[in-house]
């Protein structure tokens, strides 16, 4: 899956499941959209479904650095590429 397809999926999840209104790729998820730790856990579950994997504890800990939608996309690409080496 390329970045554009991934971006479309993530934006759909954020607008439909988390009720974001017109999210920008560099919006701060917490400050601009009220995204909290419960939301983050739910999003990680959806990322597992998108990738068809179960994230390791280490991979989940790296998710704590995510602040923007671009960070989400970078995070998914990094996990996907590390799993396909």
The structural domains of the chain, ordered by start, are 3-83 (1.10.1200.10)
Entry pTM: 0.91
Task: Please provide the size of the chain in residues.
Answer: 85
Position 85 scores a pLDDT of 67
Position 84 scores a pLDDT of 74
- For the chain, residues with pLDDT lower than 50 are none
- Find, among 65, 70, 56, the residue nearest to 79 by Cα: 56
Helices and strands, counts by H and E, the chain: 5, 0
């Amino acid at each position: 899956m390329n970045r554009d397809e991934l971006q479309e999926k993530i934006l759909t999840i954020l607008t439909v499941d988390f009720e974001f209104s017109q999210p920008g790729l560099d919006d701060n998820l917490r400050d601009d959209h009220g995204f909290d730790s419960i939301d983050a856990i739910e999003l990680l579950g959806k990322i597992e479904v998108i990738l068809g994997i179960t994230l390791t504890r280490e991979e989940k800990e790296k998710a704590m650095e995510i602040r923007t939608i671009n960070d989400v996309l970078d995070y998914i690409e990094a996990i996907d590429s590390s799993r396909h080496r």
